[in-house]
Amino acid sequence: MLNVLPLEKVRNPRDIGGYVGYQGRKVKMHRLLRTGKISNITAHDEQFLRNYGLTKIIDLRSPHECRRMPDSEISGVEHIDVPISLDDNTKGGKKDLGQVFAIYRKDQYAGFQMMCDRYRDHVMKEHAQRSLHRILEILANTKDGAVLYHCSEGKDRTGIVTVVILYLLGVDLETIRQDYLYSNYMLNDYRAKRDVIMKKNGENLCFRANMRILGSVSDAFLDTALIAIEQNFGGLDNYLEEKIGVTPELRDALRDLYLED
């Protein structure tokens, strides 16, 4: 079940409610929202989010991304920065873009490899693990209202966070995967418009192929994270307990708050 939100200036906006979770209980609507960045949103978008019950925003982006394109302020809504990575995760995630772009013009698989490395980092690095725990604690302490969490395009960091949340709520992994992959459909127009600009700028097919990869999600990316978890911790349950610090009490609190009775 997919619930796309009618926002004008926000990429990939969805309510993840409606999925069937633990003991057949559905994830509540108007509680968990996943989106891309909410910079320079329209008055319509702000009013919609207010009416939808928004009370908290969790920004998953790096400090550099937040400084460059800060979230729009919405009065009465608490804003919390919880970066999954301290590195800029846009434009390939590297500081020396000239050098990286030169590689992208020669090696069509460079972006793919970089994305796989990034997904591994998003579950294996201690900073990311601490951030995942903090996000779950924030959710467990939000008794009412909607929490919106986002990165830049709402697909990778937001995708990993959504995988963790839905898994803890008891949604089956194939449903979780399909929700993750739906970002590709949501970002089709974004990738197409960006490609037109790059073509006009004279970029070659190899570079444009890499940019399409960077603007997409993939089974392979998610599997890279899940395989790293499996190989290092023996599965998601052990990983969540040992590295993210999910206790039975925290898991049950999340289920009580975010699943229908």
Residue 5 in this model has a pLDDT that exceeds 70: yes
Q: Directed axis angle between helix 110-124 and helix 219-233, to 10°?
A: 40
**Residue range 118-145: mean pLDDT, rounded:** 98
Residues of the chain above pLDDT 70, percent:
97
Nearest 5°: the CA angle 152, 255, 253 is 95
Spatial contact of 190 and 11, defined as CB atoms under 8 Å apart: yes
- Render pLDDT for 154-204 as a digit per residue (tens, 0 to 9): 999 999 999 999 999 999 999 999 999 999 999 999 999 999 999 999 999
**Residue range 36-57: mean pLDDT, rounded:** 97
In what side-by-side order are the strands of the sheet with 14-15?
A: 3-4, 14-15, 32-35, 146-150, 54-59, 78-81
Residue 92 in this model has a pLDDT that exceeds 50: no
- Going by pLDDT thresholds of 50, 70 and 90, the confidence category of residue 72 is very high
**Residue range 91-106: mean pLDDT, rounded:** 79
**Residue range 23-40: mean pLDDT, rounded:** 97
Q: Which residues contact 215 (CB under 8 A, 6 or more apart)?
A: 153, 187, 190, 191, 194
Q: Using the 8-state DSSP alphabet, how is residue 213 labeled?
A: H
Q: Using the 8-state DSSP alphabet, how is residue 23 labeled?
A: G
- Going by pLDDT thresholds of 50, 70 and 90, the confidence category of residue 96 is confident
